[in-house]
Amino acid sequence: MPAGNVSAVLVHGAWADGSSWSKVIERLEAQGINAIAAPLPLSSLPDDVAALERTLERVDVPVVLAGHAYAGAVIGSARAEKVRALVYVAALAPDEGETVGDVFNRGKPHPLAPTLSPDKHGLIWLPKKAFADAFAQHASSQELTVLEAVQRPVSVSCIGVAVGRPLWKDRPSWFLIANEDRMIIRDNQQFMAQRMNALVHSYPVDHTPMITSPDAVTSVIIEAARAVAAQ
């Protein structure tokens, strides 16, 4: 079923920007699905939710809202009625009363996961070595160079705020589990997806499949968009 009357709003996570969705945007547009990337300041969770809501104001049709990693908390905090489905891409999905830090730190980390700490400005940067070791181990050297160059730090204010009732309790949700994720381990993703009652797709991909496996990410978003179009 066509999904041309549905738009996809794509939300980047920590240490990234909207360009991380470029390959997925191209593929969605080729399938007739308009896509827009929502820029987040990564300054606090409320700031990021407000930025997302401003992007949603620009869309006049039903929306599939997709979030990567930290952005799972952001899309789950959206309240716009036009959001009809959620897609979590190797994402964090805190429940009511939980923080991003609570779910990120759940379980034993991968041995190659970086140790993270804020600088004197309260900003958390990803160490250079972590891009190839854990953030995007399947990326090409050229892709890693770009990821390292454009990384945007996340504020500690983003990870310590308890969320309200998440939107995934009121909207159908999809979850792409990245089986080879070294930032948010697979078991953690499975736990979150199960309690969300999400429709799950698992792939042998790293933490940034929008870059390293865009066809897989696109297929999940298209599936959600077709379900919305059929409503």
- How does pLDDT run across 158-183, given as a tens digit for each residue? 999 999 999 999 999 999 999 999 99
pLDDT band at 1 (very low <50, low <70, confident <90, very high): very low
CA distance 4 to 21: 19
What are phi and psi for residue 216, nearest 5 degrees? -65, -45
pLDDT band at 3 (very low <50, low <70, confident <90, very high): low
Contact predicate 208/80, CB 8 Å? no
Task: Specify the pTM.
Answer: 0.96
Beta bridge mates, 9: 36, 65
What confidence score (pLDDT) does residue 2 get?
Answer: 52
Band (pLDDT 50/70/90 cuts) for residue 4 is: low
Say what the pLDDT of residue 107 is.
85
Percent of the chain with pLDDT strictly greater than 90 = 95
First to last CA, the chain: 11
Confidence band for 201, pLDDT divided at 50, 70 and 90: very high
Structural domains in the chain, CATH included, are 7-111+158-229 (3.40.50.1820)
3-state SS record for 152-168: CCEEHHHCCCCCCCCHH
Q: Rounded CA gap, 161 and 45, in Å?
A: 7
What would the pLDDT profile of 60-117 be if each residue is shown by its tens digit?
999 999 999 999 999 999 999 999 999 999 999 999 999 999 999 998 899 999 999 9
Task: Quote the mean pLDDT of the chain.
Answer: 96
Mean pLDDT of 115-137: 96
Provide the pLDDT for residue 231.
84
SS3 76: coil
**Eight-state DSSP code of residue 178:** E
Mean pLDDT value across residues 48-60? 97
Q: Which residue do the tokens 């998440």 mark? A: 166
